[in-house]
Each structure stands twice: as structure tokens, then as C-alpha cells.
Structure 1
């Protein structure tokens, strides 16, 4: 086998981990030339570009005792993809969840975002979402220089990742001596929009020649405009009894119907701003100080126009039902002036204003050659504040018999035989509300680590302690009652002057319906002309109108949301952890073995506060059987406490049979804490009569997920940048959290109550196969070719069975994945093509309408290329989702479509420079 060419000091073969992501790899800024030759003085092979990234990442994999994969930027500001999650999915066993076509969360070996701990420079970063999972879409890849995915655990790693522990790293100012400037300026076009939006990033770093002091500042600005369309059903209501023959007799039971049929067009603008600041000061040979700061802000402005038809099972007159009990076609009775199907013209918004910052300080002290002490402290805060609009005006379908048709398994639904959807003389006010919330997350963390180097059989001993204080605040907001549903039942005719035509091509269907200005509608909403159309001349009707007007006036003549106790709450969590880990190593014949054994002891105290409320009455709306007005008691503050302690042992073993072949074995116990949103006390009611009422609440007494893990792998290194690997994994999980669903009746209405609790056990197991090769041995120009490929097979002892309506637990997110990347590079040109595939999978056991949600298989092709103008400047272009693949989901069976939506094709072209 060809020997590995090394540059600088090689990473230790039995140290447990590469504390420096570039340890044993090329130093930052080194150039790798695929046509380069070996020098006589050093024997080093100097490599640039993609090969430099592969070599650095592969060295991390090779020098770590456990099972780890890595990605390394070939230079500052040059991460392989625009989104970090998009890059991570190239790693075997990693797949991503997309929102609006951008990767947001990662799934590792079938375990979703909540099961993967993501650390920034080894620190926990707060998140703007309601749970713990890291939102990759808020952090630009331009700020990141490397990422490591630890699939097997170590005692030194922060607990929380049953699936994996992901460590993201930012650039250090003392990576290179001197003054350096790197930048990227580009324009981006989304095929769903006719706009070109800007992208810019820059990194400025400076260090003295001996690299004892340096400072670095970076920034990124990224804007995207896109217009996405989708057709959706909001899930399927099941066990309905309907008329299939048109004779007025309900002769078929157990039928599934779409909750709604929606045609949606959304115009969005996303703006991301971020930056980092870092200072390194090597005070002496024994003391090193580091200061880091990160700030990222993501703002989204989004406006949605939707045409919707709400299904009322009682008004179906004829229907066709397949063998699965799915209604594939049905006809609806003509509406009357006060009852029946309406075409809803919906205007809604979904803004986001998410801000995250982190500041951290690190001190490394070596009192002697054998002992290293590291102290680290960090503070992180995130918040997301956004209020959403949801306005509906509708037209009763009087005199026509609308027909719903489902176009085959996985096909699109359509509605025919309807009134004109842009008749401005017919729409009536239905419901209008504004709602939203405030999410806040604060993380304070401190660690101290000690490492003793011995150099013998016991070559390293590590120990340390960690304290984490985390506080998650959720504030629920909503328009005050009775503003939201005063007109429910289409009780007030709206003037035609409020409306304009809105046209869209929604997944191949050209449609036109009504648009309106939300502010103008709200003005009319509170006018005497509208209010006096509701009710009659009875004293109760007069009193109801007066109550509405009083609340409307007291709310600044608006539907602005106000903070409410229901649904609001706080979760505080203190975690104490200590660990001890020993690394061993020695020769074994012609090879060498390395081992690592340790244990981590963790204790968690949890304190939750919220509000208890009693439902004292439900007032049915005689004008609208699909709405009701709740009456609540005053809220009462409640709190709860919980605590738990666990010991998490780990064992890792690596045998380097020779320079090319390595065998690994690993075993561990890992832990993932429940999602913070599930730990809250408050419960909330959702009213959608006759059979879509729900109650949701949290449970502060939940225990963490636990897993016993076993890993084994065989790695064969063909060269410094080429290898093949086969890995197997097994996880035995317990304390799985499920949503206990049971019917509860309140004042004649049935609610499906969803409350989480620990219940199930399960097993997850599978295989990962990966290969990577550069074809340096071929004659030019073919020596510039390279390829990486991987396939992951994931199975579980618990399998989703669509025929079982009472199945309450599944291991969600399990799916096979595959990735294939081919590239070419020489001194002038770089080309890369990537294919990513994920098999169909179950996203939620209880999704829309408390039915399962499954995701159809998805594949995506990405292309990129760059050409050098000179050694400092290059032009590049990339295309994401070249074939414009769509996202599709379904309920229990494939014909029960939930949504089909665009993802968008994005093309970026720009210039990179490095001085």
C-alpha cells in the first residue's frame, strides 16, 4: 500500500480524539495539487482544493478511536454547501429535514433532530425553536470551517445525543500567520421567483509571525426570495359514516375523508445576517487564552394566499371508497345561505425574527509537560418573536354540487363543479385572528477538563466537570375573544371594493381566487356595516354585538394579539456532569491497538411553571357547525419539579492491523433529554367541531430517553484521501416518549387528548457502507477525478403497520439513505456533482388529524463548479435541486395525500477571493 504523506506533526494514534480538527492534516492554507510530485527534502505531497478537505477529514476519522466522520472546509469561508445540514447529509447515516427547500435538522441513523446534540466549538448553542434541536438554517456555513459527527460516544462528550454528537468549528485567528482576507460575493436566483438576491461574506484575520496573538472577524449576509406552491389536505379524518349512493342513507362506515382541500401560494423573503469574532492569545508556552463571539439573525417575511374547501361528512351525497376505506371521490350537497360548503379565501402570514448569540471564553494551562487544564465558559441566548395573521372570507356553494376527486395513489386532489372563485359580490366574513408567540432560550455553561499524558500503556487520563443552566420561555399570543370567531358562519357580506383577483399555477392547476388587504379588511371587520349583519334583534344578539365592539375598541380597533396564560410557561433545567476517561495503547505484532474506557455521571434538576385552566362551557355557533366558543375559568399558576441521575459508561477500541487496515469496536450508554416543549405544564384546547377537537399538554415528569449502543467498523485506507469502510450499529432504546391519546368529552363535544408519557422500548440497527477515492494514479487529466459514495441501511424492531389503527408507538424517522459525489479538479478548474437520496419514512405517528404522517422518498441533485482567475481569485457557480424535486407527504396510505409542495431550484454565481 502507498505510504501516507504527512505534513507537520501527525495526530497521536491513541489519544482518543483529535482535539485540533487539523491535527495530523495539512495546516490551514496549505495547497494541494492533484498533479503534484513528491519533494526530495521532505517526502511530502502538497495537495489543494477538494483533496485538502478530504485529507483533513479523513485524518480526523483515522486518528479517532471511536466512530466519527468529518467535513473540513478547504479554506476559510469555503464550506462545501450553502447550508451546513446539506453538507452533513453527505456523511453516511446522516439525512436532513428540509423547510422551504433548505436543510433545517439532521437525522442520524434514523434518529431525528431531537436525538442529536449539536455543539459549536464544544459549547451548547441555544435555539429559537420550542425544542432542543439545532436549527441549521439560522447559521450560515460561511462561518464554519469544520464539522465532526461522533456516532459512537465518549465520556468526555456532552450527553444528549443518542443519535450522534455533532461539533461545529469556527476559524481561529492563529491558524495562519500574517494578515489574511477572504471573501465571497454572489447573486442567487430561485426558479420560483424572478428576483436575483445578494450574498456576501468575508473573513479578516491577523496574527503575528510566531502566532502567539491574533484576532479574527467574519460576517455573512444572505438573502433569498422564493414563491412556493402546494396542495394539501390538512390530514384525513377517519371512521366517518357517509352516504355513498346519493339516497340520503349513510350506508358506509369507517371512511377516511380529507379534512380540507387547499390550494396554496406563498411569497417569502428570508434574510440572514451573521458574524463571528475571535481572539487568540498564547500568553506563554504554558498558558493560552481564547475569546469567541457569534451572532446570527434570521428574518422571514411570508404572505400566503390560499383557496380552501372544508369537508363536512354530513353533507356528502355520493362517494367512491377504495379497499383502504379512503374516499377517492365524493359529491357534496348544494349549500344554502346559512349552511354547507364554502370556498374560503385565506390570507395568512408566517414571519420569523430569530436572533441567536453566543460568547465564550477558554483558557488552557499546562503547569507541566504531562498535565493540561482547560477551563471554558459560555453564554448563549436565542429568541424568536413573530405574530401571524389568519384571515378567512368565503362564499357558500349555493346551487352547485362540488365534487372532490383524488387522482390515483399519491396523486393530486381537485375540486370541480364549484362557483366562480373570484366573484367579488359573494364573499362573506368568516374568521379572522392573529396569533403567535415568543420563544426564548438561554444557556449558561461552564466546564473544566484535565488531561494527564503518561506515554505508556496508560497513555492518557482525562477527567472533568460540566454545569449547564438552561431556561426556555414560551409565551402564547392570540386575538382576544370574541374577535376571532365573531363572524364564523359567513355572517356578514363584505363589499366588493375590498377584493382583487389573485392568480397562481398551483402544482399544475391554474386557479384564480380573491385577494385582499388585511388592514382594510380589519377596518371593515369592526365597522357598524359589518357588525349589524350578525344576529338579530334579540337582546342576546344586541349584547353580543356590543361585547364585540367593546373588545375591538379596547384592542386599539384591531385584531392585534395579546399575551395569554394558556399555552405559556417556563422550563428551567440545571445539569451537573462529571466524567473520567482513560486511553490505552500498545503494539500488537505489526500493528497497534488503542482503547478508551470511561464513564459520565449526570444529574438533572428540572423546574416547570405554567397555568391551569378549566373549561366551564362551550357555546356552539348555530351559524357554523365547525366552530364553537370556549368559556374558561380564570387561570391558576402551577409548577412542578423533577430530577434524575444516570451513569453513562463508554468503551472504544481500535486495532490498526497495519498502515491501511483498522478495526473498531465501541459500546456505550447514552441519553437524550425530552424536548423542552414536552416538559411544559400548560394545556391548550383546539376547537374544530364536529370531530377535530383536540387537547394538548406537556408532562414535566418525563424521563430521558436511554440507549445501550454497540458499534463495529472496518476501515481500509487506500491512500491519504481514499478509503472504504463498512460499519454496523445496534441501539437498544428505552423510555421512548409517546403521545397518549384518549377521547374526553366536554359539554357534548368529544376531544382527543394528547399528552406525552414514557412507555415503550425498541431497537434500531443497521449497516453503513462508504467509499472514497481520488484517481491520482491515472494519467492527466483523469488524475483530477474523485468520487465518494455511501449507503446506510436502517431497521427497527418496531415497524409501522398502516392497517393497525391502534398503533401508538413507532421509531420515527427511520429510512435508508444514499449519497454519491463525483468531482474533478486541477490547477484551474473544479467541478462537483452530488446525488442525495432518502427512502420513504414515517415522520410522525400522530400527525395532522392525529393520524400518521409519512414522507415519500426524496432525491436531489446538486452541481457546482469554479475556475481560477489567479491564485487569489476564482469564479464559481452552483445549482441546488437541479431537477426541481418536490416534497410529498401522505397519511396512513399513499393515496391519502397530506401535501405536495415545491422545494425550489436555486442557482448561485459569484466570485471568491483570498489574500
Structure 2
């Protein structure tokens, strides 16, 4: 955000705050604690004592604000406007409207949340207070697999309590599904809509429904919900796969390398991806009140997300040794360079790449809960839950290239439209030149199983000690990761562009890549695989020496033994399992009393946790590396047989908490909180297996896990003041401080294997750091204005985040940074009056460091991003309404870069999505 924009937002916040403070004075005839919509605006109804019913956006704001106001600590919430009607199509998109919360997007959809600068792995997400397994390799929750139609509310605990499950240094997020006994009788809410993505010509369906029934006294109820959501989209991007640094190249065209310390793009890629995402989900809930003392509830959730995608990419892989002339800026970035003409056996090639990235993720959870209330003072809750997630998908990656013979390709960093380009190249769709290069099919199987059991007791006491709570928790979690890959030597048999391919295999692929019309080669995977195993292709590799004949025979034997395909097989190397058992117990006491004319409430407690971890994997020794003389960027490893290995680790910590609230007046509230919190290492970092990636001469890596990692720890302090103007309006300012310990980083150091240098990437506990900042928020409805303007309302917030450790792009030896820190802001304006409802939301997140060691082991930064979303509805009658939504109205693009802004990593479109449909409720 520019200084002008930041100043404008600050002025807007100040102006809205001032208006909110003076609003009650301008509306002296209105009860500041009561709002109403048109259905209850008749003063006679109020005089007769009938219930005033508030619905729609205002009801959602009031419900959320009630949660915030009643909390002792720092809590924000979002409530569905009605059953099955969450404010946004994606839960993460709704959560980002809360101050201090920002999101990470994948394919334009919110996937993970960052709270106060701490990313997805630092935030514990619970569904109905239960841990939900995840299909990804770590612990972070993927919001894109769960439809918002299944959720009735969400609470974000920014300060901790002893009763909350540990794991969230950033926050604890509790998602809640609707309960069938919330309302008596039979109720249904459903919607049907069509969605159009600006990157696709198709309109895809969205269907949802929630049906609940409860008897009149609400002692028995059942609820079922279902959702079907499909999205088709075609996204394009330009990328570089990161930058290789400290290269020595020719900058004056004299044929001799004369300039060192130069950074070059690893590749230049133009990419178009055609994807179809299908999400199916449902919930089931049962409430059964056996008596005044005993209640049983059961919840079940199932969600499935399938993604089919096909990517066509045109890529140019840069070899520093063949640069003949270059221009370098003050940062050492090559902004333009010329490449020597290729020969038949060496030099730059244009790669025609076909790949896929499918997803088949399924998650379910089932839980049961008994609540026993033997008397008015004591409540005991016993809860058990089982959750399982899996993601099983194999990916394709095929490369057919054309050597750039007879031309001198030139890379220009700031080409037409300000985008990088490669000029002086051969036509990318010339079917007379394709050569087989590299190919592989790879994938994996991720599985996550979580079992939990809790016992909680609450004793209500009338006096200074108001409440005493205690409980125990047991969690058993097992994470399995199975790596799959085409068997050797199928993957790199043709590396070095060793065999000509007939033009009949190819067709033209055309795409508009970020406003740049382009055409390159496309091909059918099955036809290409068949040609890979043909005598015509295999006979072109090698000479008539015995070693070459043996290599060809070995390839054919593996190919035919693999069902005449490159289908992947399970691979022990890189696979592994992590089992984790956690025991926790807590005790928490609440106090309350009077201090002068003010009411105070305090909560103090402690939580003890013990974790046992057992990791299994496979050890392998690298016996040799055979370099490919036809391709200096490829090599073939020789491994020893794998050997099973395992390791154990355990740790115990005490986590104290303290929360204090002082109601200075009925509407002015001061809060103070302190706690120690813990986040366990990402499960994928705890594995034992190591893996090698061979991309000579500059991009070899070796990576592995570390089962002996300690958890992240943090001491936290929060202080804030809230002023409540009425049931739906408030002004708030909060300061926070976190002292982080045991921060885990990916250590990077060179290791040499058989004459080649590898960057070793392994996690370990390192430095401490501090994160601190300020949150300001205001929300108000303009009831004091004359009709029809009294239907307007606005909500705005701004979060400033700082760290004691700051990323400095000029330093090449930084090994530790607090990643993900960024300022953020939201501005939401809404109107609700009579038949009409409208909401406009502006979200902004400043640029941030995503990871210290990103592509090519260099920093990856994300550029500042803003998005405008619109939604609205018109009531046709009391049961039926028409609604519409526009996401990413201005079609903003996503940009990432390396150490300096000119070192582009990715620039991609996100697409604008328009949804319109009908909603029914009765």
C-alpha cells in the first residue's frame, strides 16, 4: 500500500470512528442496545411488548459482537446471517475480515489463514471443539476443502485460555456447525446458483441445502446438510522458478567470463492451466435431551474435493555457461542477456511441457458428546471424536524440446507490458524439430488419522470465585506419506534431447498468457508414452557400444515390465510415518467482583501437555552420480537398498494463562491477557527420510526431516479497549506482543557428493524472536440517519505487525526470519433495508516474506495484494430471495519475487468469479 493509500485509510478510520462516537447523540430517541429491521420498526409492536426480531446482516453482526463482548480475553467472531448462509463462499475469505487475520490463496481461493503475522501452521483450527485431520503434509487446515454452507459460525481466539486445545501460537479458530435444537419445528434453507469464472466460458452449478427438525420442547432434533460446488477455471502465469545467484558470466561479449556475483533466472516459463474443481460435502447432527441432567449430541462431517487440471507450459532453461553478453543492474540482477546459438547436442531449448496436478482429497469426522448436569452448579462433558483425511493423486510431467539452433535468444527482464520475455527464438510450434527430453509420473498418498477423547468439568460458584473448570485430553494422531515415482531409468532415459519425435504426435496449443497471445506445441500423453517405448525412439539413444546396448535393453525391460508405461510405483525413499500421542490436563478458575463502580472478571489457569512421538522412514546411501554428457543439467543417481529406520522423541510443557476484563462502564471495556502457548512442528518436518534432487550444475538439493525438533513456544501479552455503541456497533484498539522461542528454520549448507555440490536443507530449532503490533477496528450502523439511509453500515480495521528480526534483501547470509509478517486492512460497507441487502468488502495485505529459503534456496516474497468483493440479495417474498456475488471485482493478480522486486518468481491471474442464484428458506 502506498503512503497515500495508507494515509487515506487512516483518515477514513478516524472519520468513521468519530461518526460512530457521535451517532448515539444524534439518535437520542433510540435505545442504544436495540436495533431492528423494517419488519419490527412499528413502534406499536414495541409498546405491546412483542419480541423484536433482527435478521440478515445486522443479526449476524449482533451475534458475533455478543461473543466478543462476553469474552474475558481477546476474541473475534463471525456468524452466519441465516442457517446455511455464511457471509462468504469460502470460510477463509470471511475470516480475513477480522482484524489481524489475512489469508493465503491457491488458484484464487482462500486456503490458509495468517493471524497477526503467524502463518497457517501456527493456528489451530477446530470443528465443534474437535481437531480435524488434514490432507496436506503438515498440520495446517485447508479451508478450501470445506464449504462455508456447512458452517454456522466461527470464533477466533487471539488470546489463550487453559481450556483451549494447545497448538495455536497465532490463534485458535473454532468452526461451528448448526444445531438441530436451535429452533423448534421443521426448517429448510437451500440455494441454487450458477457461477462464472472470468477465465472460463462455462457456468458451473452450486447447490446447497440444510434441513432440520426439532420437537416443540427442543429435546430431540436432527439436522442434515449437503452441498455441491463446482468451479471451472483457466489460469495463466509467467514464472522463473527462482533465481540462481553468484554466477560468473560474460557481460561485454568478448567470449570471456568477466563479471561475478550475477543473479540469473533459472527458467522463463509461460504457463496455462485448465482446471475443474468439484467439492461435495455434508453434515449430520443429532441432539437428544434425555432429561434435565443428561444430553447427548452427535456430529458427522464429510467433505470431498476433486481437482482435475492440465497444464501446458513453454519454458526456457538458462545455462549460465552459454551467456555471451549481459546487462546487470546495481543489485546484481541480469536484466538482459544473450545466449549462444545451440548446436545439435547442446544449448538452449524451448521446452514444451505437459503436466497435471490432480487432487482427490477426502475428509470425514464423527464425534459424540455427553453432557451431564447433576445439579445447578456442576456440569461434566465427555467427548470423543475420530477424523480421517487422505489425498491420493498421481501427477504427470513430460518435456519435449526444440534446440535453438541458428538463433541467438535474448532474455529481457522488462519486456513488452513490463513482463519478462525471450526474443530471437525459433517458432515455438514448429513440429519438425521436437526432441524427446525428460518425463516422469509422480505423486503420493497422504493420510492423516486423528482420535481424540476429552473430559471437562465446570463448577459454578456464587462468590468471588465464580467458576472452576478442569479437564483432560488425549489425542492420537498418525500421519502417513507415501512417495510414488516412475521406476528408474524411465524418467531420464531421453534427457539431453536424445531422440527425434514425429510431427504427427503434436498439435498447436494457443493461450493468452497475461495479455500475450502465444502458441506452442501440445501432445497426447498416451501417444507420447507409446512412442517412448518404440524401437524408433529407443534406437536413437547411444551408440553401438555394449554399454549403450545394455542401457537400451534395461530401459525396455523396465518399460515393458511396467505395463508398457511410465506409471508411478510406490517408493520407499522419501516415504515415512509419524505417530504422535498427546496427553493434556488443565485447571482454570474464573473470578469476578466490583471495583468502585466497575465490574471486573478474571480467568487464570494452567495447562500441562506431554507429547510422545515415533517417526519411521527409510535410510538410503547415495553410491554414485552419473552425469549425462548430452545434458549438463541432468544426472542419474545410484542408490543403495533402503533400510528401515525409526526415532523417538518426547517433551512436556506447562502453559499458564491469565485473562482480565474490566467493565469500566456498561459500554467501555478494558482487557488484559497473558499466556504461554505452543505450536508443534509441522508433521512433514518430523519425518526421517531424505531425498535428493539432481539439477546440475547449480540446483542440486538434498532435504530431510528431523524427528527431534522441539515445539515452537511463545510468551504472549495482549491489552485492548472496546467501546460498544449499540448491539451491532463498536470501536476497538488492541496491542499484542509475542516472544517466540525454539523457532524452526530450514538450515541451508553446502554438501558435496561425488564432485557435485548440493544445498542441504534440514530443519532445526534456532533463534528466538519477537512479534508485536497494533489492531484498530470500528463497526457501526447508521440507524440515526433518516430513511432510507438508516440501512447503511460500515466496518473497518487495520493491523500493524512488526518483528525484532527483519528481512534485509541486501544480506545474503540471513538464515532466520519471522516469515509471513505483513500489515493488513479491511473496509466493509453494507446496506440492508426492506427487500434489499448489499455488501462491498475491500481487503488489503501488504507484501511479506513467505519463506527465507524458497525457489533456488533464495527468499520468496509476496507482493502487496488487494481485492474487492461484492454481494447482495433481493427478497422476492418471505421465503425466497435472489442473491449475487462478485469476487475479485478488479481482477487483481498475484505476484511473488525473490530477494529484490525485479527478480520475478511468479505473476499469475486469479480470475473474477460471478455467482447468481436463488435462496429459499421456510
> Could you tell me the TM-score, scaled by structure 1's length?
0.97
**Paired residues of 1:293 and 1:357 also in contact (CA < 8 A):** yes
Give the whole-Å Cα distance in 2 for the aligned partners of 1:4 and 1:361: 42
Aligned to 2:15: none
* 1:62 match: secondary structure: helix
Aligned to 2:701: 694
Aligned to 2:195: 188
Are positions 1:141 and 2:148 aligned together? yes
Choose which of 470, 482, 489 in structure 2 pairs with 1:475: 482
Choose which of 291, 294, 303 in structure 2 pairs with 1:287: 294
Aligned to 1:431: 438
* 1:39 match: secondary structure: helix
Residue by residue over 1:192-214, the C-alpha shift from the partner in whole angstroms, topping out at 9 and shown as x without a partner, is 00000000000010000000000
Displacement after TM superposition at 1:812 (Å): 0.3
The aligned runs of 1:900-915 (5 Å cut-off) are 900-915=907-922
Displacement after TM superposition at 1:435 (Å): 0.3
The aligned runs of 1:577-588 (5 Å cut-off) are 577-588=584-595
Aligned to 1:665: 672
* 1:550 match: secondary structure: helix
Are positions 1:352 and 2:327 aligned together? no
Q: 1:5 to 1:576 in 2, by over 3 A?
A: farther
Displacement after TM superposition at 1:588 (Å): 2.0
Aligned to 1:442: 449
Give the whole-Å Cα distance in 1 for the aligned partners of 2:132 and 2:891: 33
Aligned to 1:231: 238
* 1:680 match: secondary structure: coil
**Paired residues of 1:483 and 1:559 also in contact (CA < 8 A):** yes
Displacement after TM superposition at 1:411 (Å): 4.0
Are positions 1:723 and 2:730 aligned together? yes
Aligned to 2:8: none
For structure 1, which segment, 400-409 or 821-830, has the greater mean C-alpha deviation from structure 2 after superposition?
Answer: 400-409
Choose which of 552, 555, 562 in structure 2 pairs with 1:555: 562
**Paired residues of 2:392 and 2:445 also in contact (CA < 8 A):** yes
Aligned to 2:122: 115
Are positions 1:871 and 2:878 aligned together? yes
Aligned to 1:595: 602
Give the whole-Å Cα distance in 1 for the aligned partners of 2:40 and 2:159: 33
**Paired residues of 1:734 and 1:761 also in contact (CA < 8 A):** yes
**Paired residues of 1:580 and 1:600 also in contact (CA < 8 A):** yes
Residue by residue over 1:79-115, the C-alpha shift from the partner in whole angstroms, topping out at 9 and shown as x without a partner, is 0000000000000000000000000000000000000
Aligned to 2:5: none
Displacement after TM superposition at 1:34 (Å): 8.0
* 1:716 match: secondary structure: strand
Aligned to 2:642: 635
Are positions 1:837 and 2:844 aligned together? yes
* 1:58 match: secondary structure: helix
Give the whole-Å Cα distance in 2 for the aligned partners of 1:717 and 1:285: 36
Give the whole-Å Cα distance in 1 for the aligned partners of 2:38 and 2:895: 42
Aligned to 1:197: 204
Displacement after TM superposition at 1:122 (Å): 0.2
Give the whole-Å Cα distance in 2 for the aligned partners of 1:458 and 1:42: 37
Displacement after TM superposition at 1:46 (Å): 3.0
Choose which of 412, 415, 421 in structure 1 pairs with 2:422: 415
Aligned to 2:310: 303
Aligned to 1:707: 714
Residue by residue over 1:275-297, the C-alpha shift from the partner in whole angstroms, topping out at 9 and shown as x without a partner, is 00011000111111001100000
**Paired residues of 1:174 and 1:212 also in contact (CA < 8 A):** yes
Q: How many residues align?
A: 894
Give the whole-Å Cα distance in 1 for the aligned partners of 2:415 and 2:815: 28
Give the whole-Å Cα distance in 1 for the aligned partners of 2:81 and 2:586: 34
Displacement after TM superposition at 1:32 (Å): 7.7
Give the whole-Å Cα distance in 1 for the aligned partners of 2:320 and 2:47: 83
* 1:367 match: secondary structure: coil
Give the whole-Å Cα distance in 1 for the aligned partners of 2:648 and 2:71: 40
Are positions 1:754 and 2:761 aligned together? yes
> Could you tell me the TM-score, scaled by structure 2's length?
0.96
Displacement after TM superposition at 1:806 (Å): 0.4
Give the whole-Å Cα distance in 1 for the aligned partners of 2:846 and 2:440: 39
Aligned to 2:185: 178
* 1:702 match: secondary structure: coil
**Paired residues of 1:440 and 1:473 also in contact (CA < 8 A):** yes
Q: 1:528 to 1:34 in 2, by over 3 A?
A: farther
**Paired residues of 2:37 and 2:834 also in contact (CA < 8 A):** no
**Paired residues of 2:40 and 2:52 also in contact (CA < 8 A):** no
**Paired residues of 1:685 and 1:694 also in contact (CA < 8 A):** yes
Aligned to 2:166: 159
Displacement after TM superposition at 1:31 (Å): 7.5
* 1:345 match: secondary structure: strand
Aligned to 1:312: 319
Aligned to 2:396: 389
Aligned to 1:820: 827
The aligned runs of 1:527-566 (5 Å cut-off) are 527-566=534-573
Displacement after TM superposition at 1:686 (Å): 0.2
* 1:718 match: secondary structure: strand
Q: 1:682 to 1:154 in 2, by over 3 A?
A: same
Give the whole-Å Cα distance in 2 for the aligned partners of 1:499 and 1:628: 28
Are positions 1:264 and 2:271 aligned together? yes
* 1:368 match: secondary structure: coil
Choose which of 485, 495, 501 in structure 2 pairs with 1:494: 501
**Paired residues of 1:32 and 1:48 also in contact (CA < 8 A):** no
Give the whole-Å Cα distance in 2 for the aligned partners of 1:6 and 1:217: 35
Are positions 1:95 and 2:102 aligned together? yes
The aligned runs of 1:503-518 (5 Å cut-off) are 503-518=510-525
Give ranges in structure 1 of 5+ residues lacking alignment: 8-25
Displacement after TM superposition at 1:670 (Å): 0.2
After superposition, the CA RMSD in angstroms is 1.4
Choose which of 246, 249, 272 in structure 2 pairs with 1:242: 249
Displacement after TM superposition at 1:138 (Å): 0.1
**Paired residues of 2:32 and 2:725 also in contact (CA < 8 A):** no
* 1:524 match: secondary structure: helix
Residue by residue over 1:289-325, the C-alpha shift from the partner in whole angstroms, topping out at 9 and shown as x without a partner, is 0011000000000000000000000000000000000
**Paired residues of 1:126 and 1:381 also in contact (CA < 8 A):** yes
**Paired residues of 2:38 and 2:834 also in contact (CA < 8 A):** no
Displacement after TM superposition at 1:48 (Å): 1.6
Q: 1:593 to 1:508 in 2, by over 3 A?
A: same
Give the whole-Å Cα distance in 2 for the aligned partners of 1:523 and 1:654: 71
Residue by residue over 1:694-722, the C-alpha shift from the partner in whole angstroms, topping out at 9 and shown as x without a partner, is 00000000000000000000000011100
Give the whole-Å Cα distance in 2 for the aligned partners of 1:35 and 1:765: 45
Are positions 1:656 and 2:663 aligned together? yes
Displacement after TM superposition at 1:45 (Å): 4.3
Give the whole-Å Cα distance in 2 for the aligned partners of 1:323 and 1:555: 53
Give the whole-Å Cα distance in 2 for the aligned partners of 1:440 and 1:537: 47
* 1:522 match: secondary structure: helix
Give the whole-Å Cα distance in 2 for the aligned partners of 1:4 and 1:446: 46
Aligned to 1:848: 855
Give the whole-Å Cα distance in 2 for the aligned partners of 1:724 and 1:43: 31
Are positions 1:400 and 2:407 aligned together? yes
**Paired residues of 2:64 and 2:77 also in contact (CA < 8 A):** yes
Aligned to 1:807: 814
Give the whole-Å Cα distance in 2 for the aligned partners of 1:412 and 1:689: 27
**Paired residues of 1:32 and 1:46 also in contact (CA < 8 A):** no
* 2:553 match: secondary structure: helix
Choose which of 381, 386, 399 in structure 2 pairs with 1:379: 386
Aligned to 1:615: 622
Give the whole-Å Cα distance in 2 for the aligned partners of 1:473 and 1:857: 36
